[in-house]
Structure 1
Amino acid sequence: MASSLKKCSTYEKYEIRTRNPNPRAAALLVIDVQNYFSSMANPILPNLLATIRLCRRASIPVIFTRHCHKSLTDNPVLAEWWNGDIILDGTPDADLMPDLDSVRRPGEDVLLEKNTYSAFQGTGLEEILRKRCVEEVIVTGVMTNLCCETTARDAFVKGFRVFFSTDATATANAELHDATLKNLAYGFAYLVDCERLNQGLFGN
């Protein structure tokens, strides 16, 4: 998926700002890599796992989110929008993909539950980041144009510097993925990929 996205990508002309994350001030957000989204997430798993390992190596804390609903009515607007096709907590679809087991540290990593697009809404994420003196977030996961983009925009508005992965995020199709990268590069986030992140953090 990463290679096919790159072929049709047109976001580069908006990417006029470059910067490297500061590992002493950053946190990695891994958004909603759950069984429900496995068909989208599978193609980017190698890049996602590589990104997580790079951040581990740089001592950057990793925060996972899980999108789930306690009932069909806990977010009626979202349920209406998706015609009732929501992820109910306690179902296999709501679980994180087992592919993450090799990189997760359950006793150390934060796992937040959310029932809307933004990882900041009703989760305590901002308070967690402030308490850890985090000033920057690196956004990965699914879906690029929904939960990842909304979280990135919220982070920017709240005063966090945002880095957004081009090859460790995924969505329904390349057009939607590319649209997010254009918008974020234009007004919200520095774009990174595994190679840039490696170079930016370690100089190799």
Structure 2
Amino acid sequence: MNRALIVIDVQESFRRRPLWEAVNRPDIAARTVRLVDAARAAGDLVVWVLHSEPGSGTPFDPVSGHVRLMDGLEAAAGEPVLTKTSRNAFTTTELQRVLTRHGVGELVVCGIQTEQCCETTARIGADLGYGVVFVTDATATFPIAHRDAPPAVRAGLDVAALLADPRTLPADAVTERTEYALAGRFARIASLDDHVAAAGVD
């Protein structure tokens, strides 16, 4: 069974938002490099996914110039780079066609955000019949504002207020809930160190 590493939204757009200062894993690009190196060494397919919001006027708008991989990441020749406009990597891309063409039966998921694009991709991948490995500590996310918080807080524009609000769900709690939801249902949870070690790459 062939395997594919799906690298989701590890892009400059996130670093251009005020909320980036609250990210739980600011070294996500370096963590991603370790997974990519392991995948390439194992002969696995690496698929890069970017998130785009055309016309939004945000860092996710293609005209911003930020819808690109973070520094230190680069697709090798032959590695697909897909652009999505949904919160999962399947619905608005040719991902399933790419995976079918390469005979892929197992997905390894990493990227940004843990509970949004990464989790949603894992769930849909499982529903489509793929085995899914979710490398949680090679994903990154942010604290989540309470639904009744002011709009600027919910939008991640007022980071100080977000972090000061006792109703805010911390990033660690977001990550823990994602693992609880996925484990044994949609994915196998793996650590970065364990997954890389299993691939025989340090």
TM-score by length of 1: 0.75
CA displacement at 1:44 relative to structure 2: 2.6
Separation in 1, partners of 2:200, 2:34: 14
CA RMSD of the aligned region, Å?
2.0
CA displacement at 1:86 relative to structure 2: 6.7
**Secondary structure of the structure 1 residue equivalent to 2:86:** coil
CA displacement at 1:93 relative to structure 2: 2.7
* 1:141 partnered with 2:111: yes
Equivalence map 1:123-162=2 (5 Å): 123-162=93-132
Structure 1 stretches of 4+ with a deviation exceeding 6 A read: none
Structure with larger RCO (C-alpha < 8 A, sep 6+): 1
Equivalence map 1:1-204=2 (5 Å): 24-38=1-15, 39=20, 40=23, 42-72=26-56, 87-101=60-74, 104-105=75-76, 107-172=77-142, 173-202=171-200
Give the gaps of 5 or more residues in structure 1: 1-23, 73-83
Q: How many residues align?
A: 167
Which structure dedicates a bigger proportion of its chain to helix? 1
**Secondary structure of the structure 1 residue equivalent to 2:180:** helix
CA displacement at 1:43 relative to structure 2: 2.5
CA displacement at 1:85 relative to structure 2: 5.4
Q: Percent identity?
A: 30
Q: Which moved more, 1:62-71 or 1:141-150?
A: 62-71
Q: Which moved more, 1:178-187 or 1:150-159?
A: 178-187
TM-score by length of 2: 0.76
